[in-house]
Chain A
Amino acid sequence: MSGRVLVGVKRVIDYAVKIRVKPDNSGVVTDGVKHSMNPFCEIAVEEAVKLKEKKLIKEVVAVSCGPQQSQETIRTALAMGADRGIHVEVTGKDYENLGPLQVSKILAALAKKEDAQLVILGKQAIDDDCNQTGQMTAALLDWPQGTFASEVALEADKIKVVREIDGGLETIKVNTPAVLTADLRLNTPRYATLPNIMKAKKKKIANVKPADLGVDLTSRLEVLRVEEPPQRQAGVKVETVDDLVGKLKEAGRI
């Protein structure tokens, strides 16, 4: 096994920012807004770096798809301990329309090209909340998947994954190579240490175009409109339980 792990890191609007919808309702305002690494991607990077520290894998490669600024996200992954980066350049309209289908095609192509043993992604991105990229990537590669991982343990030629599911925790074993997606409780991402931030400067980030990987970026989806969620309405107080049941029936809720 190559001992190489591919980690996807997405540049998203920072979780603390107040999102504003563009006046033309075509999307949200991103210009001049603070961006950072998707929190679930941070957890994915942390898991990969931990595996490397335990000497269970040999190399961590951080991948990001997007414009020039995505390189900052890759650098943060390098500062956390990734060995090198791959920046897949996607700009303009292509970037606006970039979604899980396109990204998973890119990641699948890279996983094959880099002879990866493992692909670790965040379970979802906090901007689109799709929760699809990991699953699609596994399907395209015809690899098993361990999604919503809250615990990962590498055994001889299998990986034990504890998954967070609605009913509780599910433990599965998958063959390698595999795709894993990180859930919140998988680990607590480290703060980059200053020496590692310095070292990250010297690590390489390769530039790749989707066309080089034979990936077609055409989107099957069209965003029609983006709106703010409706303003929360005031509630109504009722005197008795009967009144409450009556009101719920009126609203068609029961």
Chain B
Amino acid sequence: MAALFKARKALRLCLSGCRSLSQLAELPETHQILRQTCRDFADRELTPIAAKLDKEHAYPAKQVQELGVMGVMAMEVPEELGGAGMDYLAYSLAVEEISRGCASTGVVVSVNNSLYIGPILKFGTDEQKQQWIQPFTTGEKVGCFALSEPGNGSDAGAASTTARQEGDEWVLNGTKAWITNSWDASATVVFATTDKKLKHKGISAFLIPMPHPGLSLGKKEDKLGIRASSTANIILEDCRIPLGNMLGPRGAGFKIAMQTLDSGRIGIAAQALGIAQASLDCAADYAHKRTAFGAPIGKLQAIQFKLADMAVAIESARLLTWKAAMLRDSKKPFSKEAAMAKLAASEAATFCSHQAIQVLGGMGYVTDMPAERHYRDARITEIYEGTSEIQRLVIAGQLLKEYQL
């Protein structure tokens, strides 16, 4: 019996290794169906309303619920907890296709999956998983992730939000900034320092339901892009939560945040890919239809070179994203690849959306065409969940280790 199990395990490991290389060339059938399903959903339910959502800064509640029913809001979560039980490669495909339709919806999906559910799934107790994950799989409730503060974004270790123990409660004080989903969330993962002297090793993670006494929201930021997703400060004033609301061990907060962001990067890379792809689609379609100098502009080399450069940028970033996802799925180290993917994809998004406007000319500058919205949506991908500068630091750090410098 034991020998049978060992043989099966060996076979599975071997197959998964073989599969991962060919997966880069052609996705497995389930993933193809998943990708097509998400694409159909995006084409039919998101693309037609994306401009309106952007204009009205309107949270896509109905669409998020429908995505919940499909299982997209909790893709990695096991079925027993109400999730889809799929892998990160599937997740990156889903986020890309959703973002291609509407980048704001894409970030709502990504934050809920990677930044809110992610750390609870990895570091939470069984009880915490039941309480804080299960209700957030259906699309009715979404969560958010509160790490950044007005005083520190990239410098996450300098958290000034405090948590002190008072009897059987934690009392939190401080302000968190730039929190995606804040106005639409029903819970948040918050990072606060329990021991300022220990610097980043004194930070711990906490779970707070929303709304909650002592927790209030700042004004909704009026952003350049991804306007259908809400971004605001979270203000904690003597916010009291039970001791059981600490996530993971005391002092492990920084580690939890960094590991969570590693995975979150794959989600944001996927979102950036969606925006980039939508830009390329828009530009290619226009190049086919717009005539100038007696022929469709797609016949001109200048335009063709732009489209080719866009396609190369997207495909290379996509392969990096898939590789990072597959490494994570095989439980191998993936920080470097995830940072590379996020860096490449976000720069591809800004490049492609910029070039798409150029291809569209004057039409690219007006709201009649989606190119301007892609341009505005793309910009944030180089900033949140780790700026491009931070990504370069992460990559260099790993690289230097490899070269033993």
Could you tell me which A residues sit within 8 Å of B by CB distance?
16, 36, 72, 75-76, 79, 191-195, 197-198, 200-201
Contact = CB atoms under 8 A, between A and B. Distances in A.
Q: How large is the interface on B (under 10, 10 to 19, 20 to 34, 35 or more residues)?
A: 20 to 34
B71 A195 contact: yes
Interface stretch (B84-92, B176-184, B233-241): B84-92
Q: Considering residues A36, A75, A194, which has the most beta carbons from chain B within 10 angstroms of its beta carbon?
A: A194
Contact of A194 (B29, B36, B90): B90
B369 interface: no
B33 interface: yes
A92 B36 CA distance: 27
B41 A191 contact: yes
Interface in B32-48: 32-34, 36-37, 40-41, 43
Given A193-B71, A194-B84, A79 B37 contact: yes
A75 B29 contact: yes
Given A198-B84, A198-B85, A192 B37 contact: yes
Given A194-B71, A194-B84, 10 more contacts: A16-B43, A79-B33, A191-B37, A191-B70, A195-B79, A195-B85, A197-B33, A197-B34, A198-B86, A200-B30
B40 A191 contact: yes
A109 B165 CA distance: 75
A173 to B, nearest CB: 34
B104 to A, nearest CB: 20
* Nearest 3 pairs of A and B residues by beta carbon: A194-B71, A194-B84, A193-B70
Nearest to B28: A201
28 contacts: A16-B43, A72-B32, A75-B29, A76-B33, A76-B36, A79-B33, A191-B37, A191-B40, A191-B41, A191-B66, A191-B70, A192-B33, A193-B69, A193-B70, A193-B71, A193-B84, A194-B70, A194-B72, A194-B75, A194-B85, A195-B85, A197-B30, A197-B33, A198-B30, A198-B85, A200-B30, A200-B33, A201-B30
Contacts of A16: 43
Contacts of A36: 36
Q: Considering residues A75, A79, A197, A201, which has the most beta carbons from chain B within 10 angstroms of its beta carbon?
A: A197
Interface string B47-59: 0000000000000
Contacts of A195: 71, 79, 84-85
Contacts of B32: 72
Contacts of B29: 72, 75, 201
Contacts of A194: 34, 70-72, 75, 84-86, 90
A126 to B, nearest CB: 15
Q: Considering residues A72, A79, A195, which has the most beta carbons from chain B within 10 angstroms of its beta carbon?
A: A195
A192 B84 CA distance: 12
Contacts of A79: 33, 37
Contact of A197 (B37, B40, B41, B43): B37
Nearest to A196: B71
Interface string B5-39: 00000000000000000000000011011101100
Nearest to B82: A195
A198 B33 CA distance: 10
Contacts of A192: 33, 37, 70
A191 to B, nearest CB: 5
